[in-house]
Amino acid sequence: MSDATSISSKTIEDFFCDWESQAFGYGYGTGEEHTLKVLKNLSDAVEWNESGDNYTYDYQKIEKMLGEQQTWLLINILCGNGDIEYGSSPRYGWFYGRGKNLINFLKQHTVGELYDMTSRDSGYSHCFSDYCSCGYEQLHQRCKNNPFWNDNNNFELIGMAKESL
C-alpha cells in the first residue's frame, strides 16, 4: 500500500482521536469531556506570536483561567508529549510545529465536536506514538501521517477538517 493511500484512509478528526487517545485516553467515555474542556480552554488562553509564528502562553494567565492544579497537570502532559516547547522553563512556553497544529485544531471546534470525534466504536483502528495502522497492516513505528505527532506535516490542511487528508 502506498503512503498516499495510507494517508487518505484517515481524516484529520481520526488523527485527533488518535492523539487524544494516546495523551488522555483513559476516560473510557467518562473523562474525555473534562479533559477536552480543559484543552479547549487552554487553546483560548494562548496568544498568537507573529514574530515567532507560534502560540505562546504565560502560565499565570492559564492558572487564573484553569486553576493551578489543572494548569500544571496539562503543561506537564503536553511537555512530555512534545506539544509544548520551552527554553529554560515551561512557565513561558510555546506551541510550534505539532503543538501549533493541535492549538489550531482545538480553536476550530467546540468541546462537543471534539468529544464526538473521540467517541469511537471498538472497530476503529487507532494509531499510537509507537505504531501506525493507517493502512491495512500495522507498522511498529510512530505514525508518520499524524500532524499532531509530527512537525513536518503541512498543516494548512487544518482548514479542511471535515475532509479526508
Domain boundaries, the chain: 3-159
76-120 confidence digits (pLDDT tens):
999 998 999 999 999 999 998 889 999 999 999 999 999 999 988
Q: Identify the band that residue 153 occupies on the pLDDT scale cut at 50, 70 and 90.
A: low
Distance from the Cα of residue 20 to its chain's centroid = 6
Q: Is the pLDDT of residue 141 over 90?
A: no
Q: How far apart are CA 117 and CA 69, in angstroms?
A: 26
In 3-132, alpha helices (H): 3-8, 12-24, 32-45, 59-66, 68-80, 98-107, 111-118
21-67 confidence digits (pLDDT tens):
888 877 666 678 889 999 999 999 999 988 878 999 999 999 999 99
At a CB cut-off of 8 Å and minimum separation 6, what does 108 contact?
Answer: 158, 161
Q: How far apart are CA 143 and CA 149, in angstroms?
A: 8
pLDDT of residue 2: 38
Is residue 159 classed as helix, strand or coil in its secondary structure?
helix
Beta strands 54-56; 47-49: pairing state: antiparallel
Q: How far apart are CA 40 and CA 103, in angstroms?
A: 8
